[in-house]
């Protein structure tokens, strides 16, 4: 979004405006942008333009639709206008995405907790089963050892 704003501003400040048949640009009144987009003022050129072509300067900024101030206003509006502006639209989409993710995370957490409880129940039951089977094996070994004819080791 920032790059787009930069590019649009660059294009705007370098464009020419038709003022009563005469084409005027910021450059003509001593305002220039360097390759970083930074504006600088040539005071001598600006003073001359103010002295000799005030109508051109006025038209450069205020010509309906094409004047720089009007175009800037339209551009800024497209970003900051409530609800339909790009910033608000992005912000709303972000808020809605965040809410959706929050809901999904809550649902997932609940599902995980339920699954965890069930697994814990299965684990505890299996632990008891293993214990019981171990006890059964020990019982059978005891039974086998008690059979007649079994010589118990003297250790």
Partner 1 sequence: MQVLPELEKLNKSVSEVLVELENVSAENEIADELVLNLQKLVGQRQLLLEVLLTSPKDEDRPVLESQLALTQQYEQQAKRVLLHRQELLHLGRKSKRQINVYKSIGAK
Single residue of 101, 103, 151, 154 touching partner 1 by CB under 8 A: 101
16 near 23, Cβ under 8 Å? yes
From 143, 151, 152, 155, residue interacting with partner 1 (rule: CB under 8 A) = 143
Phi, psi of 52 (to 5 degrees): -105, -25
Note whether 10 binds partner 1 by CB under 8 A: no
**149 counts as binding partner 1 under rule CB under 8 A:** yes
One of 64, 148, 154, 155 touching partner 1 (CB under 8 A) = 148
Instruction: Kindly state the smallest distance separating residue 152's Cβ from partner 1, in Å.
Output: 15
**Total of chain residues touching partner 1, rule CB under 8 A:** 37
Sign of the dihedral through C-alpha 96, 8, 22, 61: positive
121 binding partner 1? (CB under 8 A): yes
Pairing assessment for the beta strands 39-41 and 31-33 based on DSSP bridges: antiparallel
Task: Note whether 110 and 117 are within 8 A (CB).
Answer: no
The binding site for partner 1 (CB under 8 A) comprises: 98, 101-102, 105, 108-109, 112, 115-116, 118-123, 125-130, 132-137, 139-144, 146-149
């Amino acid at each position: 979004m920032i790059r787009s704003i930069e590019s649009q501003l660059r294009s705007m400040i370098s464009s020419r405006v038709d003022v009563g048949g005469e084409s005027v640009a910021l450059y003509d009144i001593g305002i220039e942008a360097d390759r970083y987009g930074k504006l600088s003022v040539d005071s001598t050129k600006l003073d001359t333009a103010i002295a000799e072509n005030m109508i051109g300067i006025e038209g450069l900024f205020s010509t309906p639709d094409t004047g720089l101030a009007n175009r800037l206003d339209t551009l800024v509006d497209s970003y900051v206008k409530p609800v339909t502006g790009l910033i608000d639209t992005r912000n709303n989409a972000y808020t809605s995405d965040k809410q959706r993710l929050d809901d999904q995370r809550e649902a997932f957490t609940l599902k995980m907790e339920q699954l965890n409880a069930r697994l814990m129940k299965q684990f505890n039951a299996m632990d008891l089963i293993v214990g019981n089977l171990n006890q059964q094996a020990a019982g059978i070994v005891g039974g086998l050892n008690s059979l007649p004819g079994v010589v118990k080791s003297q250790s």
